[in-house]
Amino acid sequence: MRQKAKELLESGEVKVVIGYGQGSAPFKSTPIFIEKPEDAHKLIWNPTCVNNLTVYLRDACRQGKAAIVVKPCDARSIIELIRENQIERDDVVILAMSCPGVLNLDALAEIDLADVKSVEWHQNGIAIKTNAGETIIPSEKAFASKCLSCELAESPIADEKFGEPIERHPIRSKYADIEELEKMLPEERRAYWARQFARCIRCYACRSVCPGCYCKECFTDKPCQLWVLRSTDVESNWFFHFSRAMHTAGRCIACGECERVCPMGIPLMRLNQKMRKEVREMFGEEAGTNPEAPPTLGTFDLKKDPDPCSE
């Protein structure tokens, strides 16, 4: 991957390679933007590469052709950006990595983080090396929740692939987190979400990290709108989160970044997964699977969907 990134920059085929670099500690990585061939060695690939880097792709492609390092799950965001005419397929070189799963930081709760030397994939999960030796954390505990239901053996879109396809054995349903919610009575679900949204501080981290939230001006920032007040009252928070879920319906690829970055630990993916499930059942489609298909909720066929108001 480093060699290919170096070649792309040396040839001038791309202006930048978006990838992962070493973070502030061995158990962290950070997005980096490589513009010089001699810096390609700074790229890394290991279980700490959790960010969905496609959030940077629109801006990068405006400056010229870009290359990007992606996990199979995150590659679906590129498909959505192409479907929605936010980027041209020819403007991006996709460096698709083989990915057994990314690190769930909570799995390190019993490890002295100051003593961590490296984090690597292991056949049974993730290996954490410290001065005291090596600790193997099993897959069901080591990997992020989304990885436990991942069915992608390889990237659905790619120009270059690195690593062998992964033989997937999901150990939980992708909709496992919403099964309990669906069993609740409507008033119980309302009370559940009211408790969650009461904790929201409206920092908008969920919006900033989402590849699908690219509006120049979000509806919540418009001075004339009256639905979402500046104060973080429950009703305004409620309206913001449910409106955002509606705006990303049929487009959310379930990368889980919104929930990962939420400083208040609000389970936003339960909301998004519910919308994904509804879209799948209603339209038979999942976001991020076909770059040639029109956006799921971006088309209207009068023959298939007659106007009920005309009757």
pLDDT at 296: 82
The pLDDT tens digits along the chain (311 residues) read 999 999 999 999 999 999 999 999 999 999 999 999 999 999 999 999 999 999 999 999 999 999 999 999 999 999 999 999 999 999 999 999 999 999 999 999 999 999 999 999 999 999 999 998 999 999 999 999 999 999 999 999 999 999 998 888 888 888 888 999 999 999 999 999 999 999 999 999 999 999 999 998 888 888 777 777 778 888 889 989 999 999 999 999 999 999 999 999 999 999 999 999 999 998 888 898 888 888 888 777 767 666 656 55
How far, in Å, CA of 71 to CA of 66, rounded?
A: 16
How far, in Å, CA of 34 to CA of 56, rounded?
A: 13
DSSP secondary structure of 213-234: ---SS-GGG-TT--SS-SS--H
CB-based burial label for 19 (10 Å; 0-12, 13-18, 19+): buried
165: Cβ contacts below 8 Å, ≥ 6 apart:
98, 153, 154
Strand order, beta sheet including 125-130? 116-122, 125-130, 133-138
What one-letter code names the amino acid at 202? R
pLDDT at 199: 96
pLDDT at 219: 82
Cα dihedral 159, 251, 144, 99 in deg (nearest 10): -10
Whether the pTM exceeds 0.85: the reply is yes
